Structures are given as C-alpha cells and as structure tokens.
Structure 1
Amino acid sequence: MAFSPLSFRNRAACVVAILASLAGCATDASRPATTAAAPPREQALLDLNKQVRANYAESKRELMLRARPAIVVAFDDATLLRTGLPAETRSFTPPLYHRYKDVAHVALGVWATLAPWTDRDSRAWVAPLETLLQRARAARTTLDDVGFPADRLARQRLIFDQSIALMERTLAAGRVDGPALAGFAHTLAAPVLANGDDAAALQIDGLHALVSRWRAELSPDEWGRLHVLVLGPKMPRVDNLAIQYFQRVMGRGELGRRLLYAEGIFDRDAALGLLGTVVTDRALAVAFFGDPMRMDRDFLSDGSRRRLDQVFGPDAAVRR
C-alpha cells in the first residue's frame, strides 16, 4: 500500500494515541486523590500528548537517518542516500523526453481550453485560445531544430497542424463546436499516446542506466535493505513509470513496503520525513501487533468495521 501526506499524519496521530493512552492509564493510577495545584484532567492529557508527539518526532528523525540506503526519485532526477557518504543526485531524463510531452500537450491544451465552453453562449475562451494559437504557430516553426528523429517529425507536425486548424476554425466560427472538439480528440488520441511511448522509453532507459550503476556500487545486503520513494501527484500514481521500473528490479511484492509512492510530496526532505514515519511505524507495529504493516492502514480500521457492522448490519451493502 502506498503512502500519502494525509496517511502520514494519520499514522503519526495513531502512534501518539496509542502511547498517550498507555501513559495516561499509568498516570491515573499514580495520581494523588486531591491535588489543588494540578491542572485540569484535560490539560494534563494535552500536555502529555504534546510530549509524546515531540518524542515521536525525535525518534522518527533518528530512525530516518538509519534507513539507508535510499533512493528518492523526483520527476527528472534521482538521489542516492548512503550512510556516511554525501547524497548523490543525478538527472536521468534527456531533453527530448520533454519535447515529446510538449508536443502532446498542444493537443491536450486545446481541448482543455475549449471543453468547458462547448455549445455555450460565452466568449470567455477567446483570449486564452488566441494566446495559445499564437504560441503554437511560433513553436511549430521550431520542430526541425529541437532534436526529433527524422522518423518522428511527421507525427509532431500532425499534432501541431490539427491543433492549429481547430483553433483557427473555432475562432472564425465564434463558438465552440462540441462534435468538432470530440472528433479532434479522437483523431489525435493515437499520436498523443505515441509521443508518450517515445517519452517513456527515453526516461526508462535513463533511469535504468543510473540505477544499474548505483546497484553495482551497493553490496547485496545494502540492495536488500534499499528503500525507494517516488514523488508525484495524485493522477499518475497508478502505473507510474518509476514505480513500474522499480517493481521490475526490486520485485512486485516490494510495492508499499520498501517501494513507496509519495503522493503529493514534491521535495526530498519531505519524502525523507515520510520514510522516517514509515520505518518508525513499522517497528512500532511489530512491537505492539506482531505485524509490520498494521500501521499502514488506519489504526481505527478494525474498530470502525465492527461498529459499522453494528450500525448497518454485517451484510449491508456498501453504497456506491
């Protein structure tokens, strides 16, 4: 199971809740019956919880530093972290990767600019489309000079020419034609995906060359302990390029264990904070529950299910 910043906070809160409840029981047993100067019960628990959180954060930092080696993949770059050595960051993404995506984005951008205004009586789309058309025309003249292989140029020209033609027709008509926009998207689906295929091949080749070099520098024991964190937003989480690659070289069973998708995290320090949470919570889960993955799901999950069965019945269908 992969991790998000939200689950990171939830897990940290759960750990705190466990420890705070245990500590709270011991405190209640030893507290004098009457103490005039003692803070209210709620404040004492709040103070305790605050200290538990502080102690947890310090333990997490320490365990994060021990979770080496680790690779953090941040879009175009990857960083190798090893104990006692400086971090090594390298780009594995060639410039042509971006050019393929840039051209694909022309078609996607035309659709995104026009789709909200399909068959509507509005001119809100006109200025953005005029600007997009102007820039598309300028970029179209550079296609021969930005590194595309000769056998890929025709596809780039097709995407540009179809996109420019639709923009010109739409501006001339003064309205967004829904069927025309749908036909445009259907026509360019295959060329856009082909650009994605070419971009993916370039990036995978670069990543494979880099990881192969790093793997040769690691001992078998280090490779067996390696954690990999792949940074990215929500939408490309499923079948993410780097995740697919590391599943092949680490084993598919490592996804959610030593191979983590850091959803919504976009810098290395935040990713390492997540790694610290993961290794801390898994050690805690083994100590308390005998299952290293128990804290990878909501601490309240079992109790929630039991209570929901009481409220709705165990056989009640989940509404969709």
Structure 2
Amino acid sequence: MKQIILASLILMILPRAAFTEEIDAAAGEALMKLNREFINAHAVARKLNLETGGPIILLQDGKLVLVRNGAETTSEIILTEYDTVKVFAHMPVAIYLMLGPPGAGKLDTQRLQQLAEYHGQIDRVEKQIEHIGLEGESLKRQKQLLADSRKFLETVIQRQEFSTEELYAFTRSMLPMIQANIAEAAASQLDAMHRQVMAWKKEMTPEEWQKLRVSVKGAVLARDGNLAMQYFERLLNLEGPGMRLIYMERYVPPTPMLTLLATRSVDRGISIAFFDNPDRMFRDVLADAAAAHIREMKFD
C-alpha cells in the first residue's frame, strides 16, 4: 500500500516539475524580448539624437572630424613640428627607461648592447639634424638635447655602471629643454586645432554653434588636464565635461588592465626621475603648457 501511495505521489510531482520548467523558459524568453525592445528603442533614440542634435566634433588619433548635416569632414591637426619635438623630448626618457627601472650598478652585456645601439641612433640623427625642418632656438635646443644625451651615454658605456644619483642628475638637467619642447608641441597642436575649428565655425549658423557637441578620445593617464579638453572648455565656455563635451579613454590592447597597471608604475618612476613629483605623469604632459598657451589665444 505504501508503495502505491509513493508511486502516486511521484506521478503527481513529475508533471508539475515539467510544467514549472516550461513556465521558467517562457518567462525567460518574455523577459529577453522585453529587454530587446528597450535596446532597440535606445538605438532609435540615439540615431534620432545624432540626426537632430546639431553638429559634432570628434577628436581622435590626431584628427578632427566634423559631423554635420549627415556628412563627415576630417582634418589632420598633428603637424610635423609636433612629432619632431616630441621625439627629442622622449630621448632622455628613453635613456632613463633603459637604466632606471632595471636598477643602478654594473651593466650586463645585454644592457650595454642596448645603450650602444641607442647611442648609434643618436649619432645618426645628429648627422641629419639640419634637415629635420626646425630652425632658430628650437633647432639649437634639439642639438643640445642630442649632445647631452650622447655624452651621458658615452660615460655610462665606458664605465659600464652608473648610480641612481648620476641618472637623476642627468634626467633633471634635461627637464628645462624637455619642458620647452612640450610648450612648442602644445602650441603647435592648439594652433592647428584652433585654425580648423574657427574655419568650421564660420560655416555654421549661430544656432548650430550653440548646439555644437564635442567628443575627445585620449590616453587614460592624460585625462586630467587634457590639452584638447582644456581647449574646448574655453571655446564653448564650459566649466568641465558634461552634455556638450565628453572624454573617452583609449586603451592599449591586448591586455588593457595589465597595461594600465604597468604603465602607472613605470610612469611614476619617470615622474620622480624628471619632475621630482611622483604624480606628474598622471595627467596630460602638455597640460601646463596648454593652459598657458590657451590664455594667449583669441577666441572672438
């Protein structure tokens, strides 16, 4: 009798379990379809916003892109001068990176070879220095950067060792020339950007200009004090990012989280070695120079 009752209970339970699974599947599908409608509605709303929200300027990868009336117009704003002075500013930093992070003391064969190869690259640039498109004080400064960097490398290679104190003496002696290059690079980029934006402004109606929105794409650690963000805040009389101005961080593949972690650590060392400030590299390296140049620009 007990077996019959148990079998009956099992039979009663089984159909109910199957029915519950059907309900769960149906409920899941209904929720998925409901959320799909939200996603579709959001996509439609975004499309409408882009079509009716006025002109947009995008800054990414050294280019300005104007999106207006369904068309895109692209303009290069990173000029040759910017890239050239940036390369020379990076030279003492490259030497620091070859020495500082691995540590002071005796140099093994591999590091000596690396330093010798870099010395050879400096030598080749020195021989072509008159043909890089710079002149006056800027050209003189690049020659000095090359000469001082070459001299320091020769000393280290000859002795096959160095101390942290010697390295910091070198890096900090390079800082004034690096900062001058930074100021030159910032001015070059800002002036090129301003010329193009003002030309586009002349093509817009006052109503379009009031609706203009801007999106800037840049490096993670350059968010604070970003040159372009400073410029567009001043241009549009804004007090910071908001509905008319946004910043999108650019990550480096393939492992952005690990890359960011390592970058912060390495850049902290650069900050100390050159600026004697552990946090200086955690904002746009052009930030201070950009702020100074923007104060001198005419926006009327």
Q: Give TM-score scaled by structure 1 length.
A: 0.66
Alignment deviations for residues 200-237 of structure 1 (CA, whole Å, 9 cap, x no partner)? 11221111111111111111111111111111111222
Give, in whole Å, the separation in 2 of the partners of 1:176 and 1:42. Answer: 67
Partner of 2:248: 262
Equivalence for 1:188? 174
Instruction: Tell me what 1:93 maps to.
Output: 78
Give the superposition deviation at 1:259. Answer: 1.3
- Shift of the 39–140 alpha-carbon distance from structure 1 to 2, 3 Å rule, reads same
Equivalent position amino acid for 1:250 in 2: L
> 1:105 Cα shift?
1.0
The one of 96, 110, 130 aligned to 1:111: 96
Across the two proteins, how many residue pairs are aligned to each other?
Answer: 232
Contact 1:118–1:176 (8 Å) recurs in 2: no
Identity %: 25
Task: Quickly say closer, same or farther: Cα 1:139–1:265, change in 2 above 3 A.
Answer: same
Greater mean alpha carbon deviation, residues 55-64 or residues 220-229? 55-64
> Match of 2:146?
160
1:36–1:262 Cα change, 3 Å: closer
| Map 1:34-183 → 2, pairs under 5 A | 37-40=22-25, 41=27, 44-46=30-32, 48-84=34-70, 86-120=71-105, 123=108, 124-183=110-169
The alignment's TM-score, normalised by the length of structure 2, stands at 0.70
The offset of 1:126, in angstroms, is 2.9
- SS of match in other structure, 1:81: strand
Q: Per-residue deviation at 1:70?
A: 0.3
Match of 2:224 among 238, 242, 246: 238
Assess if the C-alpha contact under 8 Å between 1:170 and 1:177 holds in 2: no
Listed as ranges, the gaps of 5+ residues in structure 2 are 1-18, 253-300
Residues 164 and 222 of structure 1, relative CA distance in 2, 3 Å threshold: same
Residues 150-208 of structure 1 deviation map (CA, whole Å, 9 limit, x = unaligned): 22222111111111112222222222421111001110001000011111112211111
Decide which structure has the larger Cα Rg and report it: 2
* Closer, same or farther: CA 174–254 of 1 in aligned 2, 3 Å: closer
1:88-133 per-residue CA deviation (whole Å, 9 max, x = no partner) reads 1111332112111111111111111211122255635333322222
1:222 & 1:149 partners in 2: Cα distance?
A: 41
- Residues 89, 181 of structure 2: 8 Å contact kept: yes
8 A Cα contact 1:69 1:81, kept in partner: yes
Task: Give the equivalent residue in structure 2 for 1:249.
Answer: 235
Structure number with the bigger relative contact order (C-alpha 8 A, sep ≥ 6) is 1
User: For the aligned residues, what is the CA RMSD?
Assistant: 2.4
Cα separation, 1, equivalents of 2:115 and 2:34: 58
Structure 1 unpaired stretches of 5+: 1-33, 267-320
